A and B are shown apart, each in its own frame.
Chain A
């Protein structure tokens, strides 16, 4: 697993501390009751802070799963691989 993904897992774990790493990789707003508006706001702030990003508010609703965040971070203009 790459360093970027490790850091993303850590961000998710800080917001959903009861989840195991393998559960984190499968989490989505649809599958997790705990993914409410507050945790979504916190999660986006944690990720922006951790990766030094400024995520456009208009795409925030699309970042609704671990996989979506991972894909977002992989964009070449964000320094992803």
Chain B
């Protein structure tokens, strides 16, 4: 993006009522055009918001980080350059580069890193923080020729890498990936010496533009997609298993190695909680035998469900979406056949459908990188590890119910269900945030929260903020519901309420209300309820509970609830924060 385009984007009018998205940019240099490019990239990512970028003071990075923590910004971006670690590592101050000073420079930079570590941890507990480690070349201060790495330089780089590695473990902090930055912005073209000397802004404009894009992407932190539906023949392996035979399909260095790489990658996605399903035109028995091969890099346990039949791919995809209970826009479909991809895309326009680029080595490499981008998440949660298991268990428990013809009451009673209510913690509760922003079907009003809004809610001492976990004899579902609200006299006002679709049909929603009435001692619950295009299950729940169509506003008295609640069999654990 050119600077003129960035300025125009920043000055594009927004509606008066547009929500404000305020961030604090802390850097030791003049923020100038970086602030402009960052603001422009955020305007693109958040077209409905009024983006405001506050900045700190020149030459005082730690002070600026402290000010960010005291500001009204909802998120912070911190950009460290070498001069912030020791001014002698920049060129605007002339502090001396004699060899005798180099050891002291390394020591003082290491100490500055330790101070930054503490300050950044503190800031990241206060607000979501994005950090960029030094991107500019070190000046020629070392005694070695540039082709030779000096031990001082290597120690400096080690100190910076150590600081980044330590901070990367803080949940509220995301560090810009230098590998991606290196690809988009050549290292030799980043530094604008003249601009640094004349204005105090050290970045060449193309570098500032790339930085703005990458940092904005990290602040925006869009939600990852939930599931991957993949084809088998000439996609997960090379060959057609129905024709070549189970032993004839391949993913070795001799033939089809890139398919093996894809298998390895899909297994990695499954391990990170991404739902993986198979849609393949094949005989189920043949596919089953193929998955018996011990050298397959993807276990059958990583996949659920398998849809192997001969009708249209879109029918298989539809069944998988139904099993997962997720929307098409949360899913990526991969198949080597352009025709199948087009057919699925026509049936599900919101789904991202990708032709597997077989025999195109860089194409497959780029596909894997793209899939990591759409499925990647800042941190894995415990729920990520059990998602597939619980989905399978849900399928199994529903199968038990259907095949045995047992009543819901009998089944639920025999399930040995346990529900745990806990207060949502301001830090370390990424799953609750994820649930509120990903759940569509049982969602009170479809409201989404950015990280800053979420932090404000969970830190509000007057708010009731409740997470709900579930387990039964079929296994744990993990954290599956969130309730946010506040008590106003005899009434509890619910602002947000979501329940994962994995937890439907267990009367957990009824138990939530019972728990609220009993624990909060209120006589009535008011819901900030809105009909959305996708919250049909919630509408149906209210309709059944109230005995009338669910039209906002909705309030439920204790008497109404008691009169309509079905029998509940759960064991309840935990206390809530009020």
| Minimum distance in angstroms from A59 CB to a CB of chain B | 12
Smallest CB-CB separation from A58: which chain B residue? B198
Q: How far is the CA of A57 from the CA of B32 in the complex (A)?
A: 17
Q: How far is the CA of A50 from the CA of B5 in the complex (A)?
A: 10
- A33 touches B (CB below 8 Å): no
Query: B198 near A46 (CB under 8 angstroms)?
Result: no
Task: Give Cα distance in the complex from A13 to B7, angstroms.
Answer: 9
Whether A14 pairs with B198 at a CB distance below 8 angstroms is: no
For residue A42, which residues in chain B have a CB less than 8 angstroms away from its CB? Answer: 3, 7, 32-33, 36
Q: Which residues of B contact A45 (CB under 8 A)?
A: 3, 32-33, 195, 205
A49 adjacent to chain B (CB < 8 Å):
yes
8 A Cβ contacts from A32-47 to B: 41-42, 45-46
Quick check: is B199 within 8 A (CB to CB) of the other chain?
yes
A14 to chain B: which residues have CB within 8 Å? 3-4, 7-8, 11
Q: In the assembled complex, how far is the CB of residue B211 from the closest CB belonging to chain A, in whole angstroms? A: 15
Q: Are B11 and A49 in contact, CB atoms less than 8 angstroms apart? A: no
A41 touches B2 (CB 8 A): no
Whether B3 lies near A49 (C-beta < 8 A) is yes
**B194: Cβ under 8 A from any A Cβ:** yes
Q: B205 contacts which of A10, A17, A49 (Cβ < 8 Å)?
A: A49
A15 contacts the other chain (CB 8 A): yes
Contact assessment for A50 and B199 in the assembled complex, using a CB-CB cutoff below 8 Å: no
A11 within 8 A of B: yes
When distances are taken between beta carbons in the complex, the residues of chain B under 8 Å from A22 are none
Are A49 and B4 touching (Cβ within 8 A)? yes
Least distance between B439 CB and chain A CB atoms (Å): 41
Contact status A41-B199, CB under 8 Å: yes
Which B residues are within 8 Å of any A CB, using their own CB? Answer: 2-4, 7-8, 11, 32-33, 36, 194-195, 198-199, 201, 205
Residues of A within 8 A of B3 (CB): 14, 42, 45-46, 49-50
A11 to B7, CA, bound (A): 9
* The 10 nearest A-B residue pairs measured at CB: A14-B7, A17-B11, A49-B3, A57-B198, A14-B4, A46-B3, A46-B4, A49-B205, A41-B199, A14-B8
Q: List 24 A-B contacts (CB under 8 A).
A: A14-B3, A14-B7, A14-B8, A14-B11, A15-B7, A17-B8, A17-B11, A41-B199, A41-B201, A42-B3, A42-B7, A42-B32, A42-B33, A42-B36, A45-B33, A45-B195, A46-B3, A46-B4, A49-B3, A49-B205, A50-B2, A50-B3, A54-B194, A57-B198
Query: What mask results when residues 41 to 81 of chain A are scored 1 for a CB within 8 Å of chain B, else 0?
Result: 11001100110001001001000000000000000000000
Bound complex: CA A54 to CA B192 (Å): 11
On chain A, the residues within 8 Å of B11 by CB distance are 14, 17
